[in-house]
Structure 1
Amino acid sequence: MEEIFTLLETFSIPSEAYIVQGKLEAEGIDTALRDNHIVEANPLYSTAVGGVKLYVRTEQIEKAQQVYSSISAVSLGENGEPLQCPNCSGRKVTMMTSVKDDSSKLGFVVTLLLGALPFIKYRYRCNDCGFEFKADQ
């Protein structure tokens, strides 16, 4: 049995998927989202479910890939310039949050227990090589 829809891309943030979906639909491409409501309800589930999945009609996949490739998929630094991966010089960089080291974890837990909003360090991940880095590196 032939699939009616084909996966175009996955996103960790629903709003990114909605932007791309809107652009594709404006170009006359039929789309469908999957797992967007789960991730909206609890963003921490994004990794568990594999992110928000954007599907397009199989017969429209080539046109959808062309439209999607025309959308800028780069993160911008504080000065408005596109960020570049320090490892491979790639420009496909996406922002993510990080609570990796022990001091960050401790600070996160303490601020939550005190009823305050924790400070989260933002990191970036290169989609080409998978390298994670801070913007000030």
Structure 2
Amino acid sequence: MVDKWVTIATFEYSSDLQVFKIKLESEGITVFVKDEYTINSDPMISNAIGGAKVQVFQEDKERAIEIYDSIRSYAIGDDDLPVTCPNCKSQKSETYYAQKSIFYKLFPFFEKRKYKCLNCKMITNP
């Protein structure tokens, strides 16, 4: 059988992924981190390459996602309250940047912030 790696999460900085990686390893899940050293050598290119990716074996995917959902933090709005999805009323959203043009890929901080609901996948403006 050929083991297949799947990406569970991406992080802009490798220091942010260490808590998740250690938690997965403590639960007995084998973890591979892709592009960690690239980002450590030049953090400015993190957005260009899509961040550091935490990968697990396909058979551990569901368990790893459950663990990630139990420890991750969700988007907080300008009012310091969790962002609520207008479609499904879930409070499990994360910041989303479309980066549709080369300009926004190079300078993502100019793009207006949006939120993506992790429950229904709807993208909303604040």
- TM-score per shorter chain, which class? 0.5 to 0.7
Match of 2:94 in 1: 93
- For residues 81 and 49 of structure 1, the distance between their equivalents in structure 2, rounded to whole angstroms, comes to 31
Quote the RMSD (CA, aligned, Å): 3.3
- For residues 93 and 14 of structure 2, the distance between their equivalents in structure 1, rounded to whole angstroms, comes to 18
Cα 1:91–1:69, aligned 2, differ >3 Å: closer, same or farther? closer
2:6 corresponds to 1:6 = yes
Residue 61 of structure 1, CA deviation: 1.7
Match of 2:72 in 1: 72
- For residues 43 and 132 of structure 1, the distance between their equivalents in structure 2, rounded to whole angstroms, comes to 28
Residue 126 of structure 1, CA deviation: 1.6
The 8 Å contact of residues 125 and 132 in structure 1, kept in 2 or not, is answered as yes
Code of the residue aligned with 1:100 in structure 2: it is F
Code of the residue aligned with 2:20 in structure 1: it is V
Aligned residues: 111
- For residues 71 and 18 of structure 1, the distance between their equivalents in structure 2, rounded to whole angstroms, comes to 12
* Higher Rg of the two aligned structures: 1
Query: Residue 67 of structure 2: SS of its match in structure 1?
Result: helix
TM-score by length of 2: 0.64
- For residues 93 and 13 of structure 2, the distance between their equivalents in structure 1, rounded to whole angstroms, comes to 16
The 8 Å contact of residues 24 and 31 in structure 1, kept in 2 or not, is answered as yes
The 8 Å contact of residues 11 and 53 in structure 1, kept in 2 or not, is answered as yes
Residue 13 of structure 1, CA deviation: 2.4
Q: Gapped runs of 5+ residues in structure 2?
A: 98-106
User: Alignment identity in percent?
Assistant: 24
Code of the residue aligned with 1:7 in structure 2: it is T
- For residues 7 and 79 of structure 2, the distance between their equivalents in structure 1, rounded to whole angstroms, comes to 34
Cα 1:127–1:37, aligned 2, differ >3 Å: closer, same or farther? farther
Cα 1:72–1:57, aligned 2, differ >3 Å: closer, same or farther? same
2:52 corresponds to 1:52 = yes
